[in-house]
Amino acid sequence: MAFEPKEEQKELKYEELRIYSDEELNNYTDEELKNFKIKHDIPMCDELESGPWPSFVADAKREALHRRKLADGRMMIEREVVEDMLGQLEVSFEHGETHWKHGGIVGVFGYGGGVIGRYSDLQDQFPSIAHFHTMRVNQPASKFYTSDYLRSLCDLWEYRGSGLMNMHGSTGDIIFLGTFTEQLEPIFYELGHVMQQDLGGSGSNLRTPSCCIGKARCEWSCIDTQAMCYELTHFYQDELHRPAFPYKFKFKFDGCPNCCVASIARADMSYIGTWRDNIRIDQEALQAYIGGEILPNAGAHKGKDWGKFDINKEVINLCPTRCMGMEDGKLMIDDKECTRCMHCINVMPRALKPGMDTGFTILFGAKAPILEGAQMSTLTIPFMQSEPPYDNLKENVIEPLWDWWMEEGKNRERLGELIQRQGIQKLLEILGIPPMPQMVKEPRSNPYIFWKAEDVPGGFERSIDDYRTRHAR
Amino acid sequence: MALSTERLGLFNPDKPMENRLTDLGPRHFWQYFPPVIQNNYGKWDYHEILEPGILVHVAETGDKVFTVRCGGCRFMTVEHVREICDIADKHCDGYVRFTTRNNIEFMVDSQDKMEALKKDLESRKHVSGSYKFPIGGTGAGVTNIVHTQGYIHCHTPATDASSMVKAVLDELFDYFQGMTLPAQVRVSMACCLNMCGAVHCSDIALLGYHRKPPIIDNEVLDKVCEIPLVIAACPTAAISPTKTEDGKKSVKIKEERCMFCGNCYTMCMAVPLTDKEGDCVTIMAGGKVSNRISAPKFSKVVVPALPNNFPRYPEVCQTVKKIIEAYAADANKYERIGDWAERIGWERFFEKCDLPFTEHLIDDYRLQYDTYRTTSLFKFTDAAWEVSKAVGGIK
């Protein structure tokens, strides 16, 4: 099965797009790099070059040297931007305080997000990072790339920016770190016109959606995470680029309850793939696990001797619902009692697989602590099936939800906080869904129910005179 | 069309809206899948971790894809990305992938190609000695630490991110390259409470935290900030309006109400919090996002404050290592740090990890009651005997 893009995709060939020649790209030797000193004294940064983990300082120094050796006019912002960034980092270590100014409203015409303004508060000392704006570039779903694409992006960014980036930012975008205001529009233009590539979200709008690796290389994914992520990102471009929400809003797509993109902790709307039929069992492979021919958990515990695999101890007795057991040498699962936690499947991937009748669960409202404390997403839609272009999802869930939040949400109030403030009952009303016990860990332990007049026989209208006919004052 | 080398490229500042392209969205993912991924989309049968950092996925078609996972700094330069491209071109027909936790994954379709790729990756080091592409981050070990910007780009951090991650991962490197733990340990780092990285559901979370109330820049506050917004930004109602001696409108702060979240500073540049002595590192533990065996959990504060000892944070590194070692020695197979702490009891967690339990670790914010223990079920530890002694209940 191949997926078709919404618009024809321009083929990007680095040889046609490139800015720098091979000679320019290979303009220094390891020997020069070893002897290279940046213009500032940075003893604390230098300490971060030792040790086995990749050193970002060592990496930054190569970019600094590379820029030193490029010819004049081959970079549109200051040559010494990387050196000044390291210099300011050193001063920040000394002072124990950041030296980036608060805020700065910059952007590209027509968009309210995608660019984060940043200015140094030590501009005299570090003029090359006087402006150090960030741009968010919307990554392709699940972050597969070709070298043609990445090399072209690198040339564009080195030519018009610092050459420093994040692969990737927390939300999922490719981050360009540090350029001057003048170059923001040119970069946006080149991205769009040459690379057919857009910016991601920032500010009070739909943030760049992200997804797990899904069916591309995982046997557990119950949904086409990339296809959902791509379609909804494209369909909601207006919401992504033009802030009209009370605060940020995140979609994240996990293919199964293992939650590799942490949707349940990070997304206002968390999609988690699941199934409603039975776990598929290959009894022969199961015997191979029991017999020790196949290592449990795909070999994840190989580094230590945990003893012989014991299916009772490691699977059956760890099952949170105790819905499985061995009968006549066969594993039996009472699937209607299973909560699909994935443990047995994770431990014996060659013997057990998720069911075939798949869909996704939707949970709402996760966020980090700012402001009223961290929240995880709340289980709301137990199971839903949707096919591209996902009209039932858009029309019945996403849009009524946004309408409510845009109408009722206070400035900087995340969806999860609105749900808490107005109650799950309100959410049910908005989505037109009935309550289910699965929405709560347990029923309320206080009887402070907000009864409505229509819930109570006779309503709330009563006469005190009538009351007094039965009760003297 | 080549990338432009004109100063302003294709952009014409006199006619900014001319031929403007907007709302293109991300490029389509399918073209970036290598053939073995395209051919086996949705047909994967099972996978196996051959050794730390090396996976094989086997499809129903019989096709295999070998993945070599390498740690990456989230912060990287175009020079590093170009080197990644060189490796992708040399071994992987030009394809490469990044994971949610900033790892780099190179994929090939045969064991031989995998061996050559592995050898190549292991040989690449920075001139100052660190690995460029350490292989690991799979299974029951410590994978890459996701983190935030810190001093490299952010205006609100209470510590730096890239340096702390480098220091901690140097310390935990054997766990990155090994699979010796009871289960996976996800370490995450955020340099302030805004938690761009949403570290609040991690096995171990490192969190930069401010500890001094904002200082007020009365000179400019009224000019650069909306005073009602600053007041409304405070979740504990610690901020109120005031006038300075010379009659300027400003705000004042009830210091005992401040819990240092920094939300006021997000709204107003005239109330900075950062301070060399005040800013610290808080350690949280026991969170997770997976639904496996037990429900996802928040991380809990286990160390209220460690010093920002730049650039290598020895106290933070040692504490993280101590927690992981205690966990490695005591937890059952498949048990995450949070599951382990709940099984043995948090009192035993503090004892086994040799961490002091201070009053800061008892919740006194909203919903604090949910964390009180309302049962006589507890274990005796030294901390308990201290309480008994304090009331003269034992000698």
- Residue among B266, B281, B119, B325 nearest B188 (CA): B281
Backbone angles phi, psi at B187, to 5 degrees: -105, 135
**Per-residue pLDDT at A1:** 64
Asked whether the beta carbons of residue B10 and residue A150 sit closer than 8 angstroms, the reply is no
Whether residue B208 lies within 8 A of chain A, CB to CB, comes out as: no
From residue B286, give the alpha-carbon distance in Å to each of A2, A301, B191, B205, B289.
Answer: 41, 20, 19, 9, 11
Which of B20, B33, B77, B128 has the most A C-beta neighbours within 10 Å, making it the best mutation to test the interface with A? B77
User: Cα separation of A142 and A226, whole Å?
Assistant: 7
Q: In 10 A of CB B18, how many CB atoms?
A: 9
Residue B259 predicted with pLDDT over 90: yes
The tens place of each residue's pLDDT in chain A, 473 residues long, gives 678 888 899 999 999 999 999 999 999 999 999 999 999 999 999 999 999 999 999 999 999 999 999 999 999 999 999 999 999 999 999 999 999 999 778 999 999 999 999 999 999 999 999 999 999 999 999 999 999 999 999 999 999 999 999 999 999 999 999 999 999 999 999 999 999 999 999 999 999 999 999 999 999 999 999 999 999 999 999 999 999 999 999 999 999 999 999 999 999 999 999 999 999 999 999 999 999 999 999 999 999 999 999 999 999 999 999 999 999 999 999 999 999 999 999 999 999 999 999 999 999 999 998 888 899 999 999 999 999 999 999 999 999 999 999 999 998 999 999 999 999 999 999 999 999 999 999 999 999 999 999 999 999 999 999 999 999 99
From residue A344, give the alpha-carbon distance in Å to each of A255, A332, A335, A352, B184.
Answer: 17, 12, 12, 7, 16
User: Cα separation of B338 and B289, whole Å?
Assistant: 11
User: Cα separation of B162 and A58, whole Å?
Assistant: 12
Comparing CB atoms, the residue among B97, B141, B272 nearest residue A144 is B97
Whether residue A111 lies within 8 A of chain B, CB to CB, comes out as: yes
- Please report, rounded to a whole number, the percentage of residues in chain B having pLDDT higher than 90: 97
pLDDT tens by residue, B290-314: 999 999 999 999 999 999 999 999 9
* DSSP helix/strand/coil, B56: strand
pLDDT tens by residue, B106-131: 999 999 999 999 999 999 999 999 99
Query: What's the whole-model pTM score?
Result: 0.96
Structure tokens given for B160: 């730096």
User: Cα separation of A333 and A393, whole Å?
Assistant: 32
Contacts of B181 in chain A (CB under 8 A): 303-304
Comparing CB atoms, the residue among B131, B265, B293 nearest residue A54 is B131
Q: Rounded mean pLDDT of chain B?
A: 96
**Per-residue pLDDT at A246:** 96
Q: Which residues contact A265 (CB under 8 A, 6 or more apart)?
A: A259, A366, A376, A377, B198, B200, B201, B289, B296
Q: Which residues contact A340 (CB under 8 A, 6 or more apart)?
A: A257, A274, A275, A354, B291
Contacts of B49 in chain A (CB under 8 A): 298-300, 302
> CB contacts < 8 Å between A and B, how many?
490
Contacts of B162 in chain A (CB under 8 A): 56
Look up residue A354 and give its DSSP letter. Answer: -
Q: Is residue B199 a contact partner of residue B189, using CB atoms and an 8 Å limit?
A: yes
Can you list the domains of chain A with their CATH numbers?
Answer: 14-194 (3.30.70.2500), 210-275+358-455 (3.30.413.10), 280-353 (3.30.70.20)
User: Cα separation of B136 and A58, whole Å?
Assistant: 21
**Per-residue pLDDT at A398:** 98
Contacts of B134 in chain A (CB under 8 A): 52-54
Asked whether the beta carbons of residue A233 and residue B179 sit closer than 8 angstroms, the reply is no
User: Cα separation of A24 and B36, whole Å?
Assistant: 34
| Cis peptide bond upstream of A389, omega within 30 | yes
- Residue among A348, A352, A350, A349 nearest A333 (CA): A352
Whether residue B47 lies within 8 A of chain A, CB to CB, comes out as: yes
DSSP string, B152-188: GT-SS-SS-SHHHHHHHHHHTHHHHS---SSS-B-EE
Contacts of A192 in chain B (CB under 8 A): 20-22, 24
* pLDDT, mean of residues B144-154: 96
Whether residue A106 lies within 8 A of chain B, CB to CB, comes out as: no
Give the full edge-to-edge strand order of the sheet including B204-209: B187-190, B204-209, B280-285, B300-307
Which of A38, A167, A204, A445 has the most B C-beta neighbours within 10 Å, making it the best mutation to test the interface with B? A167
pLDDT tens by residue, B305-355: 999 999 999 999 999 999 999 999 999 999 999 999 999 999 999 999 999
User: Cα separation of B169 and B178, whole Å?
Assistant: 13
- Residue among A242, A240, A154 nearest A195 (CA): A154
Flag the least confident range among A367-371, B40-44, B136-140.
A367-371
Asked whether the beta carbons of residue A368 and residue B130 sit closer than 8 angstroms, the reply is no
Whether residue A168 lies within 8 A of chain B, CB to CB, comes out as: yes
Structure tokens given for A427: 């959410």
Asked whether the beta carbons of residue B132 and residue A144 sit closer than 8 angstroms, the reply is no
In DSSP terms, A325 is beta-bridged to A332
* DSSP helix/strand/coil, B283: strand
Contacts of B289 in chain A (CB under 8 A): 259, 262, 264-265
Whether residue B8 lies within 8 A of chain A, CB to CB, comes out as: yes
Vertex A415: Cα angle to B263 and A363 (nearest 5): 130
Contacts of A140 in chain B (CB under 8 A): 26-29, 32
Whether residue A326 lies within 8 A of chain B, CB to CB, comes out as: no
Q: In 10 A of CB B210, how many CB atoms?
A: 25
Please name the residue ranges forming H helices in A252-329: 263-266, 283-290, 311-314
User: Cα separation of A20 and A176, whole Å?
Assistant: 18
Whether residue B260 lies within 8 A of chain A, CB to CB, comes out as: no
